[in-house]
Structures are given as C-alpha cells and as structure tokens.
C-alpha cells in the first residue's frame, strides 16, 4: 500500500545516470531487493459445483503488508478423529494440571511477554487502498513507529485504527514519514502506554539471536525467532515513486505480510530494528511467504528519523550532491556529475571519480553507496576512498541535509 508523498532524495535516471544530489525521485537497480508488492487475495471461485469436503486454505503470499479488498478473513478448520465402532468405557483418567511458572529470565517466552504489550496492529485505509501492518509504541504518551508503506496512504486522507495487545483500539493520526527510510510515526490519544525498550543496532554481530513480533496476515501478537544473518545488506524497496534505500539487518526470523513496521528485538527484548521487507521466490500462485530472507531497518537510524518527526513533523536525509552512473555495475560507484555548491563539490570530488569505500566499508555499486550514506546523519563527516585515473585518494565529505 503506497501513496504519493513528497519526492524522496535518491538517484534519478537520466539515461544511464542517476541523481544523488538529493533533489530527485528514486530509482532502483537490478542489484536491489524489490520486495514491496502488496498481498492481494485470489478471487474466489464462484462456479456452480458441489463444495469440497476438504477445507482449502488460501495461498499466503509475501509482500510489505497485508492488502485487504473488502472484508477478508483468515479462517482455519479444526477437525478431530473419532472411533466409529467403539466408545471408551470405564472411568476417565484425568491428568493432574501442572503448575504454571513464570518464564525463565532471558528465555524467548520471557522476551515475548515483555515485548507483546508494546506491539500494535495497524489497519489503514486511504486513497491507495486498505491494508494491515504492525507497529510498536516508542513513547508512553502515544507515539507509535511503523513503516511508511504501512501508514503513508493515510497522509492526505484515510484512517488508521490501532489495535493494542489488550484488545482495545484507538484512532491514530499520521504525524510524519520519511519514505526514503520507509519510516512513519503515528500518534494515538492515549497515555501510560507500554513503550518498548530501546536498544542499539550498532553492536550487532552475525549470529545474534533476534525475535520478530507483529501481525502477519492479521494474526496479532505473532512471535517468530531467528538470528542476524547478515549486516549492512543494501536493500531497495517500495513502489509508485516511494523507493526506500535501506542498509538493512538481514534475518531468518519468519517475516510475512503484515509484519511490516513491527519490531525486531534482541535477546533482552530491546528493539534493534524495524521489520520492513522480505525477499521471495516467484511462484505461479502469486508471491510466496517467508523463505528466511527478511530485512529490518537498523534502529539507530530509525531513532534519529523518529525523533525528528516527533519534534518537527519532518526529518532529514543525508546527501553528498552527485549524480551516479546507475548502469555501472561496479565494483564501486562512478560519479557522473557533481551538483553545484554541494558537499561533493566543496570536498573536491570530480566527474568520473570511482568511489570504492566509505569510512573503510567497501562500496559494491551505486545502491551500496546510497544505503551506506543513509546509515549516517546530516552533518556527519565521512571519508570517501576514490580512484581517479591511476591515483587513489581519501577525500573527507561533510553530508548535507534534505528535508522529507
């Protein structure tokens, strides 16, 4: 579910070139994960035929959020087997009920119990349609974090219904969003909410245990577990002019349609990412569900964006002021043009420069450079390693800001 919002900073194709001056609309590359197509239920078969005795479960397909057309429901059948020719005789043996104890500290059960009260389901309707996603309470005075592709369609018109873990609901309003990071903030008129514990994505290592909580297919409060599979994974996702560039945390925790906007937490229950996208294998039945390739926006980046939105209603995106050759497959990102009076010009970058590293991190291609820049904040100074002819240069650049 998407809606037209102000153009986000990102590369703009101009033939083989793309603008990274921060003034243009986004453009994805073949190397990116494009995983934001929504879920649309298959049309029911209305042909006149006897109903099958078997219950058929609709295919569950992957996407950024659950798209609902009309009043869709997810149903299940519970069956039982009974003996046909005999009944049990004699007294029934009833097992004594075991005493229930609190989950052990640090266990998945304990983390789930601590996190679930902070996680919400968002039912959003707007010009682009309606859908279901997830979110989490970031402040006890009613502020909720989610994805832009979940809540963004309610910007100009529409509605947001927030469902809490205790069964209560409230109307939400969109405070602001940054489509370039796929982050949005929703506000409800509630106090004393259970705010999630805030962690940091900076110290994550591959193999760390993580837990995803959300409403896949509208199944509120679903908990799945996994590990950090990779870090700094360049991912692009979005649609209809709202492409997001994410320096993502990759996880094998099951993430499905409806998980979007929900928290990815560590083994202490502190949020370290916002679930945003999945990669899926194509299928003749439509888009499949989780194949163990989920992507979350690192929380250190999310927190900066959210703090800015809450304080001012908008947020900033870092830019360096160049156009990149998106057709160049790397390694490295090739500068096609320098934007006048931008950070790159002031730092001394030149057309034709090949950017191979940023702060020592290898740059694979243009998309890799964009998401690596966005892992920083406006005003940060980054060190670019640049190949110019037969020379290798280290050029410091101070990132500029573009409001979203």
Cα angle: 362, vertex 364, 370; to 5 degrees = 90
**310/289 Cα distance (integer angstroms):** 33
- Bridge partner residues of 238 (DSSP): none
Kindly calculate the radius of gyration of the chain based on its CA atoms and give it in whole angstroms: 24
Cα(303)–Cα(326) distance, integer angstroms: 30
Q: Supply 35's token pair.
A: 């995983």
- Identify the burial level of 284 via C-beta atoms within 10 angstroms of its C-beta, where 0-12 means exposed, 13-18 middle and 19 or more buried: exposed
CA dist 236 → 32, 40, 224, 321 (Å): 5, 21, 24, 20
Cα(first)–Cα(last) distance of the chain, in Å? 19
The strand pair at 322-325 and 400-403 is best described as unpaired
The residues carrying an active-site annotation are 149, 182, 260
153 token code pair: 């369609």
Q: Which tokens is 109 given?
A: 């059960």
Q: Is 397 helix (H, G, I), strand (E, B) or coil?
A: strand
CA 313 to chain centre: 20
Contact 132, 65 (CB under 8 A): yes
Beta strand spans in 127-240 (E): 129-139, 143-146, 159-163, 169-178, 183-188, 209-214, 222-237
φ and ψ of 311, to 5 deg: -80, -30
Would you say 131 and 37 are in contact if contact means Cβ atoms under 8 Å apart?
Answer: no
Measured CA to CA, the distance from residue 275 to residue 256 in angstroms comes to 10
d(CA 294, CA 273) in angstroms, rounded, equals 11
> DSSP secondary structure string, 94-132?
PPPPPPP-PPPTTSHHHHHHHHGGGEEEEEEEETTEEEE
């Amino acid at each position: 579910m998407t809606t037209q919002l102000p153009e986000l900073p990102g590369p703009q194709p101009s033939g083989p070139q793309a603008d990274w001056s921060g003034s243009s609309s986004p453009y994805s590359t073949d190397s990116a994960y494009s995983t934001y197509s929504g879920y649309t239920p298959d049309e029911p078969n209305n042909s006149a035929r006897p109903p099958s005795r078997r219950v058929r479960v609709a295919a569950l397909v992957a996407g950024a959020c659950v798209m609902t057309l009309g009043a869709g429901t997810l149903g299940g059948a519970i069956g039982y087997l009974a003996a046909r020719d005999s009944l049990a005789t004699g007294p029934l043996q009833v097992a004594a009920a075991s005493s229930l104890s609190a989950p052990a500290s640090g266990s998945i059960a304990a983390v789930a119990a601590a996190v679930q009260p902070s996680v919400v389901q968002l039912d959003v309707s707007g010009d682009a349609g309606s859908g279901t996603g997830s979110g989490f309470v970031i402040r006890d005075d009613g502020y909720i974090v989610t994805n832009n592709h979940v809540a963004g369609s309610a910007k100009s018109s529409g509605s947001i219904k927030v469902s809490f873990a205790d069964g209560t609901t409230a109307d939400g309003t969109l405070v602001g969003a940054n489509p370039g990071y796929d982050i949005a903030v929703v506000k409800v008129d509630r106090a004393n909410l259970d705010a999630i514990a805030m962690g940091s994505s900076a110290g994550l290592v591959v193999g760390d245990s993580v837990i995803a909580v959300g409403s896949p297919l509208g199944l509120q409060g679903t908990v799945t577990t996994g590990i950090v599979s990779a870090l700094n994974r360049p991912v692009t996702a979005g649609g209809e002019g709202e492409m997001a560039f994410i320096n993502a945390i990759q996880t094998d925790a099951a993430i499905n349609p409806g998980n979007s906007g929900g928290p990815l937490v560590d083994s202490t229950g502190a949020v370290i990412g916002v679930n945003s996208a999945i990669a899926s294998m194509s299928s003749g039945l439509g888009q499949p569900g989780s194949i163990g390739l989920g992507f979350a926006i690192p929380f250190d980046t999310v927190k900066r964006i959210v703090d800015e939105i809450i304080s001012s209603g908008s947020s900033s995106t870092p830019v360096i002021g160049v156009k990149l050759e998106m057709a160049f497959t790397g390694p490295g990102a090739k500068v096609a043009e320098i934007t006048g009076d931008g950070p790159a010009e002031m730092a001394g970058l030149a057309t034709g420069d090949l950017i191979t590293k940023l702060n020592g991190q290898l740059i694979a291609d243009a998309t890799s450079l964009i998401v690596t820049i966005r892992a920083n904040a406006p005003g940060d100074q980054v060190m670019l390693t640049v190949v110019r002819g037969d020379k290798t240069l280290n050029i410091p650049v101070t990132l500029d800001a573009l409001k979203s």
